[in-house]
Amino acid sequence: MFDNYDFIIVGAGFFGATVAETMAQRGKHILILDKRHHIGGNAYSRFDAETGIEVHNYGAHLFHTSNRQVWDYLNRFTRFTDYKHRVFTSFKNQVYSMPINLGTICQYFGKRFSPAEAQALIAGQKAELGDNPPQNLEEKAIALIGRPLYEAFIRGYTAKQWQTDPKLLPENIISRLPVRYNFDNRYFNDIYEGLPQEGYTALFERMLNHAAIKIMLGVDYFSIKEQIPAGTKIIYTGPIDRYFDYSEGKLGWRTLDFEQETLPMGDYQGTAVMNYADEHIPYTRILEFRHFNPERHYQTQKTIISREYSRFAKGLDEPYYPVNTPQDKQIYARYKQKAEAESHVIFGGRLGTYRYLDMHQAIGAALKLCETL
């Protein structure tokens, strides 16, 4: 059953699907398998039977990139809507724009600031750090926005999201959020942005619709591993620590619990994503799926929301965000060394390389890999 494939790909997310599609175009025979019962990995979405609303099963997935190669590649399989992501954050019963921009700053300090005045204000506040470069998330956030805004919009949210002292978290987590001294309230800075017009799953179906690609769903690689002929090339996009049976220790991950509800109203919160900065509110954000697709004519009697709760992953929990403490980094370095010695296996994707990758980065890395195969 597992003979005669040039590549067996473990995981039908963006990394695995991109390698499968690219190598099939080059005449290779591919088996792609996933332990889940659907393709698409974490980007998978489905149309809710009751309301017709597209629901992103594993949290909101917004496509954005400045990588022209990745954009052109995906445009072979889908058209994109012109959705531009905007996020709001609720703090002490007020609603502000996120990421922090001039509007957020004026509203928070209750005063009109010009761009130069706002910059001078934040520069004064970050002086508390002295000349030392920021060493962790807290210092980086204060360097970017000063302590008052950090304490209002970042500290509580980050405490809920990571349950780790912000002084122990890497600064790059917060570098993902832009800070703007103008009224631009778009969430992403990228050149290209949008959502697949017919949904993510249709996009994956087109990518994998090729005579040389066989798909097996509901199959765990570790339950069939022994049946694969020796020497078969494997592209593995599952968790790297699982591959080595946790011999070097378990890598730290955050998981999410999604509390989904269908409500008897046309609009619950007026926007796609509302963050909750107050620490005493247990969820980090609420998604309302209908707002991701304003171009669709969804019914107006019902809407679907999802509250997101974050916690440490254990046992069979889905690993979502690598925690990446200094200890995790040491453990990963040991797995990486082992992975390099595994000559017939290539480790890729978010789980296989223990990195937070956006979709465009996972696709970009997969395309790059294919150049070398």
The CB-side HSE value for 169 (13 A sphere, CA atoms) comes to 25
Q: C-alpha distances in angstroms, 32 versus 219, 295, 326? A: 10, 34, 34
Binding partner selected for residue 146 from ligand UDP, ligand FAD, none, CB under the kind-specific 5 to 8 Å limit: none
Binding partner selected for residue 177 from ligand UDP, ligand FAD, none, CB under the kind-specific 5 to 8 Å limit: ligand UDP
Residue 309: CB atoms within 10 Å: 15
| Three state DSSP letters for 198-252 | CCHHHHHHHHHCCCCEEEEECCCHHHHHHHCCCCCEEEECCCHHHHCCCCCCCCC
Q: Which of 36, 155, 285, 290 is the catalytic position?
A: 285
The vertex-200 CA angle with 194 and 204, nearest 5°, equals 125
Binding partner selected for residue 161 from ligand UDP, ligand FAD, none, CB under the kind-specific 5 to 8 Å limit: ligand UDP
C-beta of 162 vs 243, nearer to ligand UDP:
162
Binding mask 80-119 for ligand UDP (x = CB under 6 A): ---------x--------x---------------------
- Integer Cα distance of 103 and 81 in angstroms: 27
Binding partner selected for residue 196 from ligand FAD, ligand UDP, none, CB under the kind-specific 5 to 8 Å limit: none
C-beta of 90 vs 161, nearer to ligand FAD:
161
For the four alpha carbons of 31, 80, 359 and 51, in that order, the dihedral sign comes to: negative
Q: Which stretch binds ligand UDP (CB under 6 A): 34-42, 119-127, 152-160, 288-296?
A: 152-160
For the four alpha carbons of 12, 303, 317 and 166, in that order, the dihedral sign comes to: positive
Strand partners, 8: 31, 234
Pair of tokens at residue 142:
């204060």
DSSP labels, 44-56: -EEE-TTT--EEE
180 carries an active-site annotation = yes
- Integer Cα distance of 243 and 220 in angstroms: 12
Which residue is associated with the tokens 């890497």? 170
Residue 26: CB atoms within 10 Å: 10
285 carries an active-site annotation = yes
Q: Give least dist CB 161 to ligand UDP, A.
A: 4
**List 12, 143, 144, 174, residue binding ligand UDP (CB under 6 A):** 174
Q: Which stretch binds ligand UDP (CB under 6 A): 18-26, 113-121, 169-177, 342-350?
A: 169-177
Binding partner selected for residue 35 from ligand FAD, ligand UDP, none, CB under the kind-specific 5 to 8 Å limit: ligand FAD
Residue 300: CB atoms within 10 Å: 10
Which contiguous run of DSSP H or E holds residue 311? strand 303-312
Residue 318: CB atoms within 10 Å: 14
176 carries an active-site annotation = yes
Q: Is 173 in the site for ligand UDP (CB under 6 A)?
A: yes
Q: Which stretch binds ligand UDP (CB under 6 A): 5-13, 20-28, 168-176, 203-211?
A: 168-176
Q: Is 275 in the site for ligand UDP (CB under 6 A)?
A: yes
Q: Give least dist CB 275 to ligand UDP, A.
A: 4
**φ and ψ at residue 135, rounded to 5 degrees:** -105, -15
Q: Is 161 in the site for ligand UDP (CB under 6 A)?
A: yes
C-beta of 146 vs 352, nearer to ligand FAD:
352
Which region, left, alpha or beta, applies to residue 316 given φ > 0 means left and ψ of -120 to 50 means alpha?
Answer: alpha
C-beta of 41 vs 156, nearer to ligand FAD:
41
C-beta of 183 vs 312, nearer to ligand FAD:
312
290 carries an active-site annotation = no
C-beta of 91 vs 354, nearer to ligand FAD:
354
- The footprint of ligand FAD (CB under 6 A) covers 10-16, 33-36, 41-43, 58-62, 220-222, 237-238, 256, 320, 349-351, 357-360, 362
Q: Which of 254, 290, 298, 332 is the catalytic position?
A: 254
79 carries an active-site annotation = no
Residues near ligand UDP, by CB under 6 A: 89, 98, 153-154, 157-158, 161, 173-174, 176-177, 275, 277
Q: Which residues are catalytic?
A: 176, 180, 254, 285, 308, 356, 358
